[in-house]
Structure 1
């Protein structure tokens, strides 16, 4: 039996680039991003992506967080946040809604995703945040950016692929390796927080974090409609 036409996903755009195929499709009232044939995320529920940003800020030492309104004071006042992956924009929207962030840098390697936000169907999900003077969008591979930049970040929030144990792009595995975590640690300020989104809990990844110079390693879970909870792994660069 075939599904009714309105229940079938409709492909809005399909791109093939250096990391494989990425597709934006509409399924009912939600938009979905598919990479190399594997579902990544949609616009139906951004609770775990918002938790990623909100809990990372809460984990910072109080002296690192400006008590006043950093957005009114201008870029540079308050902690500097790097978001690895733009996705459908929930993490960026959460960050821009928080006035205490001083700067918000988003690193996204897929040109298609940036286009879908700047002039495509995902635009409404990030329009206010992209217009914020604190926000900077960077088109780059995250590890390349970490190795090339001279910036230091107070928080790195990574929402890359489906997490350390389930990557749909082989090149993303290196981000969760000791070398990739060393690059993250190097760009964090002392006392800075690394927060990593994952589609499931990974005890092995938590151990890798502990073995590669991070402390205060912990996880937070967010229930999802079906399946195991989404997880955010947190770790801190020692002060």
Structure 2
């Protein structure tokens, strides 16, 4: 599976809308800007196919924190443009790979739409399961458990796409995240900017070995991945 990466084409004329739908949580749009594909939700830019460094780090940081656990199961919150899923599927060390995505349109764009070149191999991988559900609902109701939970459904704990997601980063929400993790399991949370207060919230929720890894960007503050381990 090859990443769709082109850092030089984003200025090739105005964006072109490829698909626009009213989903269960509002409007979602897939558009092309040059050779880049972009996902917009309710007017808020979410992500594009220009680079997948931070999504790859999200998955790798969680995997590395598991200290060699055999065939760990990972839950990825948010399908997006598919970077996290594709990267996890490239790694034979992962066992079960579950992705929870609440927007049917996004899943469709990957199954047989413009995003399928990025994720077709991962979708075909026998380890992969795609669950169409709201992540907050899923972590509260599922009976499955995982060794790692990688969250990439917002622009960060302090910059949520939907106000209903805010509770996920609260002590109660983090308790739900811990509930679906095996003892010693890792929570990894992507954010468009560092959030020192969230580190403290993770510690207060009982997570150990809390730390933040930075991903350098061309301009502005770095993207980060917040990490915490559920005690054994």
Task: Specify which of 205, 224, 230 is matched with residue 231 of structure 1.
Answer: 224
Answer with 1 or 2: which has the greater Rg: 1
The runs of 4+ residues in structure 1 deviating greater than 3 Å are none
The correspondence of residues 58-207 of structure 1 with structure 2, limited to 5 A, is: 58-62=64-68, 64=69, 66=70, 78-207=71-200
Task: Specify which of 10, 14, 20 is matched with residue 20 of structure 2.
Answer: 14
- Unpaired segments ≥5 residues, structure 2: 1-10
Question: Does 1:51 pair with 2:57?
Answer: yes
**Structure 1 length normalisation: TM-score?**
0.91
**Structure 2 length normalisation: TM-score?**
0.93
Q: Name the SS for the 2:186 alignment partner.
A: strand
What is the number of equivalent residue pairs in this alignment?
222
Q: Distance in 1 between matches of 2:23 and 2:85?
A: 24
Q: Distance in 1 between matches of 2:15 and 2:51?
A: 18
Task: Specify which of 192, 204, 211 is matched with residue 211 of structure 1.
Answer: 204
| Deviation (angstroms), 1:171 | 1.1
| Deviation (angstroms), 1:177 | 1.3
| Deviation (angstroms), 1:143 | 1.6
- Unpaired segments ≥5 residues, structure 1: 67-77
What is the root-mean-square deviation in Å for CA atoms of aligned residues? 1.1
Q: Name the SS for the 1:7 alignment partner.
A: coil
